Structure 1
Amino acid sequence: MALLFISIVVLVFGYVLYGKFVEKVFGIKEERETPAVEMADGVDFIEMPWYKLYLIQFLNIAGLGPIYGAVAGALWGPQAFIWIVLGSIFAGGVHDYFSGMLSIRNGGSSIAEVVGKYLGGGAKQFMRGFSVVLLVLVGTVFMTGPSMLLGNLNFLGIGSTQVWLGIVLAYYFLATILPVDKIIGKIYPVFGAVLIIMALGIAAMLLVGGYQLPPLTAENIHPGDLSVWPLLFITIACGAISGFHATQSPLMARCCGKESEGRRVFYGSMISEGIIALVWAAAAMSFFYGTDGLSGALDAGGPGAVVYDVSTSLMGVVGGLLAMLGVIACPITSGDTAFRSARLAVADFLKSDQKVLKKRLIVALPLFVIGFSLSLIDFDIIWRYFAWSNQTLATVVLWASAAYLVQNQKFHWIATVPATFMTAVIVTYILQAPEGFQLATSISYPIGIIAAILTFGWFMLKGQKHKVKEVLEG
């Protein structure tokens, strides 16, 4: 278990050192008035303490991804740890920080509007549709998953997944239309703290129980012989980098009282999520005595059953129930904010004032009708398309962040390098994935790398043209 705790320590140091560097590159301005103060409306723009914002943001982004994704990613063994650690520090943390801070700098705008400002009108139109579709997919996934878990647990004597689906949907609707401080601001910090405590509890029991991780090796130990590249980088998204986070950051950007809170709220939440992913990956691969045992458990009952077995076995009945509730609360509290973010994104596009309840209902109701319809589709199909679209969104946001840095003559490499890497990942994946073009790796690998290089070259060329234009106009 030494590797797990070393990885956690590296993540913490990443927050302290690299997070501070990213903040310095961005250039916070303490005297600048934030949207929470300047545009306060009592509904979406409400100033709250930074520690509440951190816990809310953490719970918003920590859905099924860092748990289910980490469990699935654990099939590659400790190699997953490398991606979680490096991804969280150098890709996910940068992505989350800039998506939040650029929203603050642009009046709390939704991520589509932010991307459009720095990448142009075409990118804005694409992102408007793409981000809303992704958010509804996320809301549907995080509606269906918890409902199945609650039904399997027969929680409160209700064993029907469909009944729980109705209850969760009703809650989502209230959380979407009510002011952000009425439900989200009150209960999210509590559940966020519970999730952290439960993960640390499981990590402690792994240590006490003497569980052992498989050895770290360059060899591919996935039982299904699935390649590390690019599948690992798509499978573990929310524990390393996730585009969904960029849709959530504007929610808290509208509530930050100072720009200096951004590193703790946005970058800090990503690092915390990375720790959650590390713990669940370690638990999955050690509790079942290696990747072969984990593969059998996943085949038998899926990731939900794996989480339940690990929780109850390591922490007893009470501890296991609390851990499971944390796992259930986690996706529920991402699903409701997914629909809330979708409402705000559509409202930004329509320029609809959301202070009036009637206008919030007009935007929200169609989104929930679509979400409920999608919930009737097979969960695995929705999740596969969510995984790729999620990483595509993350890549676009990284390129927008890099464009902002270039336009402001700042050190753009902190965003350009992970953006180029993720471009290679998503292009390669969609070319060879079952839901994509199903091409051989001999074709998908080189095309993915070439696409990333060409995108990087195009970006650098556009950046140089922007600098020349500034000089001529100056």
Structure 2
Amino acid sequence: MITFLVSIVLLIVGYFTYGKYVEKVFGIKQNRKTPAYAQEDGIDYVPMGTKTNSLVQLLNIAGVGPIFGPIMGALYGPVAFLWIVLGAIFAGAVHDYLTGMISIRNRGAHLPQLAGKFLGKAMKHVVNGFTLLLLLLVGTVFVTAPAALIHDLTGNWMSLSVIIGLIFVYYILATLLPVDKIIGRVYPIFGALLVISAIGIGGGLVLTGAPVPEISLENMHPDNVPIFPLLFLTISCGALSGFHATQSPIISRTTKNEKEGRKIFYGMMIAEAVIAMIWATAAMSLFDGKSLAAIIAQGGPAAVVSEVSVTMLGAVGGTLAVIGVIILPITSGDTSFRSARMILADYFNISQKKLAPRLWIAIPLFIISFLLTKIDFTLLWRYFSWANQSTAMLALWVGAMYLKRSNKNHWIATLPAIFMTMVTVTYICNAPIGLGLSEMISYTIAGVTTVLVTMLFIRSKTNEQDALLVDDDRDVA
């Protein structure tokens, strides 16, 4: 139990210390007008309060990732705790803060526009493709996962296809309507349920004195699956997730003042890491590796969620906890499609003030996503994991280049960017869904690629003009 409590304390301390340092490095400008006011349109650019923005950001980024990912990551043993804590403080929260704040400085731009500005125009198209693929996968995964949980919770009295259809109806409304009409109003309520469910499980672990394994670097995975690079893709949303870079611009367009950024972007990533710690700890403490693997193999991570919730909180409390878990993917799925609409609108320079243009962009997205629901969830999750962490890697390089051009300490983003380059290239070289190469060849290719990318970044030249243009929002159209 000490391991769990110390991990939670470290995450909180990280917010008040390293988070403050990252904010200082970035250099907030409280008197600078944010996009919420400068581009206010009543649809996507709408000023909202700090509490609302924080809860919306938390629910946007916290899909099933900080629950399903840590549950599957728990198979590796306590080494998963290290990645959640260190990854969240030094990589994930830095990633979220920089993508959110750089977006604020650049007219609420999404990642493809920022990549085009800071990594070269060609990267705008590459990242646009990556981001749209990721958002479609996330939207699809976050339809099927909550639908399955609702199906089980209601005793199968409603068919799975009907539940999926109802979720899609909600997603369409949340994608098309102004951000403050649905998302801004219902998310604070959903946020309260999320917090209650997390506190319930976490409090239950402490009060019952659940046995928590002590920190160890030993690989306890029953199938002896290698820790590197798989652990760093399995646990993504609870430590570092490129999906967050697609969500932060939604809130960068509703943030009233730059001083709110640390709480909204850095702080909500730390909050998500706390959720990930709770579920990883619950999975490790209530099941040993072999039985956990059997439950996952039989019913997926959702079966572990149900088992943990009922065991810790009883029938009624367990049901409330499961409802909290259902809310997470739904409140990330809706903003996935909203982000995809906004990115396509920005890419093709299509005004979103009228409903018709929003509708014509959204309809093809939902048709593609519906077709993807017919694909096996496990396969979708594998592609999601790689696309997710590849997007995180690209977003970190954007943050590093922004800081370098601003003549600031870029290493806070550069070091995690280097690490994730090695992780993502190794995975796609070695994984069956990728090239299927041997581990040694994959490590070699990834190592060479990482060194080359790092050298290109270090040798890239900056000048006084670059420092002046980093926050020039005219340059991201």
TM-score between the two structures when normalised by the length of structure 2: 0.96
1:268 to 2:264 alignment: no
Distance 2:422 2:264 in 1: 29
Quote how far apart the aligned CAs of 1:468 are.
9.1
What amino acid is the match of 2:148?
Answer: M
1:15 matched residue in structure 2: 15
Cα pair 2:71 2:301 within 8 Å, conserved: yes
1:72 to 2:68 alignment: no
1:354 matched residue in structure 2: 352
1:130 to 2:126 alignment: no
Distance 1:468 1:345 in 2: 30
- Bigger Cα displacement from structure 2, 427-436 vs 265-274: 427-436
2:462 matched residue in structure 1: 466
Q: How does 1:105-184 map to 2 (within 5 A)?
A: 105-154=105-154, 158-184=157-183
- Give percent identity, aligned residues only: 52
Distance 1:392 1:352 in 2: 27
Cα RMSD of the aligned pairs, angstroms, is 1.3
Distance 1:436 1:364 in 2: 30
Distance 1:300 1:366 in 2: 34
Tell me, which stretches of 5 or more residues in structure 1 are unaligned? none
Quote how far apart the aligned CAs of 1:469 are.
8.4
CA deviation digits over 1:77-120, x for unaligned, max 9?
Answer: 11000000010001001110011111111111111111211111
SS, match of residue 108 in structure 1:
coil
Match of 2:406 among 395, 405, 408: 408
1:443 matched residue in structure 2: 441
CA deviation digits over 1:441-472, x for unaligned, max 9?
Answer: 2222232223212211111011xx2349879x
1:44 matched residue in structure 2: 44
What amino acid is the match of 2:444?
Answer: P
Quote how far apart the aligned CAs of 1:159 are.
3.3
2:472 matched residue in structure 1: none
- Bigger Cα displacement from structure 2, 205-214 vs 134-143: 205-214
SS, match of residue 466 in structure 1:
coil
CA deviation digits over 1:306-345, x for unaligned, max 9?
Answer: 1001001110111111110110010000000000000000
1:315 to 2:309 alignment: no
What amino acid is the match of 1:124?
Answer: K
Q: Structure 1 residues 345, 15: CA separation in 2 closer, same or farther (over 3 Å shift)?
A: same
What amino acid is the match of 1:404?
Answer: Y
Q: Structure 1 residues 18, 461: CA separation in 2 closer, same or farther (over 3 Å shift)?
A: same
1:418 to 2:412 alignment: no
Cα pair 2:312 2:318 within 8 Å, conserved: yes
What amino acid is the match of 1:75?
Answer: L
Quote how far apart the aligned CAs of 1:302 are.
1.2
Cα pair 2:405 2:466 within 8 Å, conserved: no
Cα pair 1:152 1:159 within 8 Å, conserved: no
Distance 2:370 2:107 in 1: 32
Distance 2:46 2:9 in 1: 34
What amino acid is the match of 1:21?
Answer: Y
CA deviation digits over 1:421-445, x for unaligned, max 9?
Answer: 0000001111111211222222222
- Bigger Cα displacement from structure 2, 183-192 vs 339-348: 183-192
Q: How does 1:282-293 map to 2 (within 5 A)?
A: 282-288=281-287, 290-293=288-291
1:328 matched residue in structure 2: 326
2:474 matched residue in structure 1: none
Quote how far apart the aligned CAs of 1:57 are.
0.3
Q: Structure 1 residues 158, 333: CA separation in 2 closer, same or farther (over 3 Å shift)?
A: farther
What amino acid is the match of 1:406?
Answer: K
Distance 1:337 1:470 in 2: 33
SS, match of residue 218 in structure 1:
coil
2:186 matched residue in structure 1: 187
1:224 matched residue in structure 2: 223
CA deviation digits over 1:261-297, x for unaligned, max 9?
Answer: 1100011110000000000000001111x22221122
What amino acid is the match of 1:207?
Answer: V
Cα pair 2:56 2:183 within 8 Å, conserved: yes
Quote how far apart the aligned CAs of 1:153 are.
1.6
1:235 matched residue in structure 2: 234
Distance 2:54 2:4 in 1: 24
CA deviation digits over 1:151-203, x for unaligned, max 9?
Answer: 12226x74311110000000000000001011100111121222122112111
Cα pair 1:25 1:410 within 8 Å, conserved: yes
1:256 to 2:255 alignment: yes
Match of 2:392 among 391, 394, 401: 394
Match of 2:338 among 325, 337, 340: 340
Number of corresponding residues: 467
Distance 2:372 2:300 in 1: 21
Q: Structure 1 residues 176, 469: CA separation in 2 closer, same or farther (over 3 Å shift)?
A: closer
What amino acid is the match of 2:40?
Answer: A
- Bigger Cα displacement from structure 2, 331-340 vs 121-130: 121-130
Tell me, which stretches of 5 or more residues in structure 2 are unaligned? 468-477
Distance 1:210 1:466 in 2: 55
CA deviation digits over 1:380-433, x for unaligned, max 9?
Answer: 111110100100000000001100111111110000000000000001111111
1:90 matched residue in structure 2: 90
Cα pair 1:211 1:287 within 8 Å, conserved: yes
TM-score between the two structures when normalised by the length of structure 1: 0.96
1:62 matched residue in structure 2: 62
Cα pair 1:150 1:159 within 8 Å, conserved: no
1:383 to 2:374 alignment: no
Distance 1:196 1:274 in 2: 13
Cα pair 2:103 2:249 within 8 Å, conserved: yes
